[in-house]
Structure 1
Amino acid sequence: MASIKVAVVTGGNKGVGLAVVNNAGIAFKVADNTPFGTQAEVTMKTNFYGTRDVCKELLPLIKPHGRVVNVSSIVSYNSLGRCSPELQKVFRSESITEEELVKLMEKFVEDAKQDIHQKEGWPNTAYGTSKIGVTVLSKIQARELDATRKGDGIILNACCPGWVRTDMAGPNAPKSPDEGAETPVYLALLPPDATAPHGELVSEKKVVKW
């Protein structure tokens, strides 16, 4: 198990405000015998709540034409497909609120502790479910930015860097760290006049249909 929880602030293109790349990641190894309920709680605390907490502090500080990149994973999309139809509908809703999302993430952890998560329609992955949370949170945050700071030109997305050779992903991953940085950096440096992608999950610089 390895974790990274970083908020990186970098300079953008000329005319673009600062960019925040919010990377909070933890994953238990497949062979780890930690009870699944504990894995769910710890993973959710870092991946979802860590991302949410950093955004809560930094989003109000983002200047016009700033860029925000929440590092999620394509696993969020794959895990969404393993949710019950009812949960899929909720997670794809254009009107889901942050409060409703938080309650769902809390429910997953409690269901996991009781070993009823699959019965309740959840996928059997703590990492994947936490990243569903990050992707949906990013969509909510983008909508809220449009509602509260319309005209500021701030763009916020979730992204998947891919399977990268890190302490968490291991030495057999196909991508180098530099290659894994390509999509996050692309989103962080979108030009000043860009309007899209916004509120999307982006992998290999392409929007993933949620």
Structure 2
Amino acid sequence: MDSTKPLKRVAMVTGANRGLGLSVVRLLCKRFDGDVYLTSRNEERGKEAVKELQKEGLDPKFHQLDTTSMESIDRIKKHFLEHYGGIDVLVDNAGIAYKVKSTVPFGEQATNTIANNFYGRYNVYRTLFPIVKPHGRIVEVGGRSGARILNAINPDLAARFRSPEITEEKLVELVNEFVRDAKEGKHLERGWDTTAYSFVKTCILLLTWIYARHLKDDPREDILINVCCPNACQTDMTGWIGRKTADEGAEIMLYLALLPPNAETPQGQLLLDDKEQVEWRDKDNYTVIGPPLY
């Protein structure tokens, strides 16, 4: 990296070879002032997605990223440090979902969903969070079902999630308990919900809130981290069932990625697809608490 040149801004999207990830890359290419990286686990599919966007007159860049591999995450971290001095926008979208009619045993579903949708994102967080530049934006893709799950699980478990003292370590303990109980076939008996996918969304809400709390003492200026619910969109993951196209669903991701400098809020919040903020940690039922700020 040439230290004499001003550093170009850069945005990256995980899990972006299709669906919402591909759509938010498309939107960022049109509106973000800097380079946009489409990343995916499968290099061939990722490069094909880049070619698809190039046919539309856009110019995304590609970098392979397997969020379940620390070697892969470390490699992309090195790339961004060497070429950009860090990251300006991180949209953390990668994940998997089992179909409703899947016959895969629940213990296996839970193990694989947690490995990809929680630990994959957690490792991206831990590794790339330190290189997010001042005025950076981090966007997690979650869902309102993550808030609702807290009202469906055992109240004692829910209280542990809602505790203002919860840390990354305590959250990981809860995640590991869920996987253990799912493998033993005792997740319902021990107070958990029946879906690993929505459970992970709860964990992503908590992880986002925890990192927003860390930022209160962070010397870097004006970094915002939030989680959004694009709602059901017409993608392969949903079986093409949804009231919105993927591009329409990705608008809320773009909104959070491009929050203006020194916005201050939202911070550590869950935003629905209409940009309204949701209070979910301390209420019996989540409630909308405010209109869009911008």
What TM-score results when the alignment is normalised by the length of structure 2?
0.65
Secondary structure of the residue aligned to 2:233 is coil
| Cα offset, 1:79, TM superposition | 1.6
Aligned residues of 1:67 and 1:189 also touching (Cα < 8 A)? yes
User: What is the percentage of aligned positions where both structures have the same residue?
Assistant: 44
In the TM superposition, 1:14-93 aligns within 5 A as 18-93=88-163
In the TM superposition, 1:1-210 aligns within 5 A as 5-6=15-16, 18-149=88-219, 152-204=221-273, 205-210=275-280
Secondary structure of the residue aligned to 1:123 is coil
Letter in 1 for 2:98: F
- Which protein has greater RCO, CA pairs closer than 8 Å, 6+ apart? 1
Structure 2 distance, partners of 1:201, 1:50, is 20
Aligned residues of 2:95 and 2:117 also touching (Cα < 8 A)? yes
Structure 2 distance, partners of 1:54, 1:188, is 17
Secondary structure of the residue aligned to 2:148 is helix
The number of aligned residues is: 204
Structure 1 distance, partners of 2:157, 2:134, is 35
Structure 1 gaps of 5+ residues are: none
Structure 2 distance, partners of 1:25, 1:174, is 21
| Cα offset, 1:102, TM superposition | 0.6
| Cα offset, 1:104, TM superposition | 0.5
| Cα offset, 1:172, TM superposition | 2.1
Encode CA deviations 1:20-74: one digit per residue, 9 max, x unaligned. Answer: 1000221111111100000000001111111111111211111111100011111
Structure 1 distance, partners of 2:142, 2:240, is 20
What TM-score results when the alignment is normalised by the length of structure 1?
0.90
| Cα offset, 1:148, TM superposition | 2.6
| Cα offset, 1:12, TM superposition | 5.0
Which protein has the larger Cα radius of gyration, Structure 1 or Structure 2? 2
| Cα offset, 1:5, TM superposition | 3.0
Moved more, 30-39 or 113-122: 113-122
Query: How much is the aligned-residue C-alpha RMSD, in angstroms?
Result: 2.0
Letter in 1 for 2:195: T
Structure 2 gaps of 5+ residues are: 1-13, 35-86, 281-294
Encode CA deviations 1:98-156: one digit per residue, 9 max, x unaligned. Answer: 0110111011011001111112111111101111111101101111122233x611000
Secondary structure of the residue aligned to 1:122 is coil
Structure 2 distance, partners of 1:94, 1:24, is 28
